[in-house]
């Protein structure tokens, strides 16, 4: 994904600076909190905060953020937030969020040229899982889908995960 951070005319975007300014650019956000572990980070955040207002992003930066959002969406096809509500009702003990994480990482590594060599890793990690937690153990009961706040078709996605990663 490194190529996404190359700006026009050789300008490099600082991802932290851009992320914080994207938050401040939104009129519905009043406060932005940022963790800091060094005095240098405090100074950097103060500098970024001085530019943090609605309308602070240039058209080029907004276009870049849109490109980044589209690339991320393509690399994460299953929109699981890992809340794990689904696992509470799963009598088969399938680790649904982890299965989806491996699937997303596999797909994402294939869609981003710089990480193409990582794709077999996620199949290996899937194979190394406790067999009772794998996608193929789903009993198709549907209890997971009833409690999923994202309204994901979990049973269908588990079948796809098994098909791709096994």
Mean pLDDT of 16-34: 88
Cβ-contact 41, 27 below 8 angstroms: no
Structure confidence at residue 4 (pLDDT): 52
Cβ-contact 99, 159 below 8 angstroms: no
44: Cβ contacts below 8 Å, ≥ 6 apart: 16, 17
92 closest CA partner among 127, 133, 129: 133
Cβ-contact 165, 123 below 8 angstroms: yes
**153 or 68, which is more confident?**
153
Does residue 8 register a pLDDT over 80? no
Residues in the chain: 166
CA distance to 7, 10, 36, 86, 129, per residue, from 142 (Å): 46, 51, 43, 9, 22
**93 or 75, which is more confident?**
93
User: Which range (9-13, 20-24, 104-108, 161-165) has the least confidence?
Assistant: 9-13
Mean pLDDT of 95-113: 86
Q: State pLDDT tens for residues 124-137.
A: 999 999 999 999 99
Structure confidence at residue 109 (pLDDT): 81
Q: State pLDDT tens for residues 44-88.
A: 888 888 888 888 888 888 888 888 888 888 888 999 999 999 999
Main-chain phi, psi angles of 12, to 5 degrees: -95, 130
Q: The whole model's pTM is what? A: 0.68
Structure confidence at residue 14 (pLDDT): 79
């Amino acid at each position: 994904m490194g190529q996404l951070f190359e700006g026009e005319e050789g300008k490099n975007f600082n991802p932290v600076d851009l992320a914080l300014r994207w938050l401040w650019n939104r009129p519905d956000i009043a406060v932005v909190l940022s963790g800091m572990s060094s005095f240098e980070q405090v100074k950097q955040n103060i500098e970024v905060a001085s530019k943090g207002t609605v309308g602070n992003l240039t058209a080029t930066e907004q276009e870049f953020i849109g490109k980044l959002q589209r690339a991320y969406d393509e690399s994460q096809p299953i929109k699981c937030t890992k809340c794990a509500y689904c696992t509470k009702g799963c009598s088969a003990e399938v680790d649904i969020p982890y299965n989806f994480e491996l699937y997303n990482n596999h797909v994402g590594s294939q869609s981003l040229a710089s990480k193409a060599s990582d794709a077999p890793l996620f199949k290996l990690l899937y194979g190394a899982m406790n067999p009772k937690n794998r996608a193929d153990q789903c009993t198709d009961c549907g209890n997971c889908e009833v409690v999923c706040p994202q309204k994901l078709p979990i049973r269908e996605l588990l079948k796809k995960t098994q098909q791709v990663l096994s």
